[in-house]
Amino acid sequence: MEVELEIGADDGSDMDMTCAIDELWKRFRSLDVIGKRELKSRVCELAYPTMTPLCPPPEKLKTKGGVKKKGKKATEYDVYRDPSYHESYIEDVVNVESDGNCGFRVIASLHGYGEDGWSMVRRELGLEIIDKDRSTLYDKLFSNRLSEVRESFMIESLGSQPPEKWLTLPYMGYLIANRYNVVLVCLGNPCMTFFPMTSSHSPNVSIYCIGFVNQNHWVQVNMKQGFPLPPVTLDWKKFRSHTATSWMLGFAGYLQHWQLLTPILA
């Protein structure tokens, strides 16, 4: 028995993907190389479900520190010499590749992604700076430099990067501490500590220590247990939430210890 279909009852228009594909292309063209790589990977997972993803999410490595790289000996790095009063607390210095992504490589290594997960760190910090829950905070904190910092995360290739694409402090320090809810310590000139700005103190928080050397390179610095913490920035004190005050209270002893070690400037 033949059944006559009603014309127009279901012409398939609700299944048309033309507009969605057009929007997808617009989105793809607006992204930087890291965003394009991630979006392409997602599309390929849908189109070719049996294939290995082009850009699989990083798995945290179960290692204490980053993989040591060949190059300068640790004692040749500036973090051992300038300033010298924290030298006895440095356990080890781990080098990473010098390609303009070194700062992001160090953070990726410390976070358990492995050094090669640097592009994911760039991507995540780029998302952090546009987080709607902290948009008011970053508008005040970065002021007229918000666009500049945001654009520094966007790159056109996966190769070496120019200085304007490097990891810079203090601005990116706030983003790292907030995104990963960690304490970030920078040994350089100046030395700084970045606590999360919207969360409360946690006794089990991870402390990421990085060093800026030769005025152009970041390294991972592994510190001994109980090492002193350099001061926080004035902007952290000014713009942090009331809840975040507990970080300074929880680490008061470590901050005071640094002050005792620091030579008094005339």
For position 236, what pLDDT does the model report? 98
| Residues of the chain under the 50 pLDDT cut | 5, 52-77, 265-266
For position 263, what pLDDT does the model report? 66
Cα(25)–Cα(263) distance, integer angstroms: 58
H helices, E strands: number in the chain: 10, 5
Going from N- to C-terminal start, the domains of the chain cover 74-261
Task: Look at the domain 74-261 and name its fold.
Answer: Cathepsin B; Chain A (3.90.70)
| 186 φ/ψ angles, rounded to the nearest 5 degrees | -110, 125
Residues, the chain, total?
Answer: 266
Q: What is the pLDDT of residues 149-180, one digit of tens each?
A: 999 999 998 899 999 999 999 999 999 999 99
Angle between helices 33-47 and 18-30 (to 10 degrees): 150
Query: Which amino acid is it at 138?
Result: Y
By the 10 Å C-beta count (0-12 exposed, 13-18 middle, 19+ buried), 10 is classed as exposed
For position 55, what pLDDT does the model report? 47
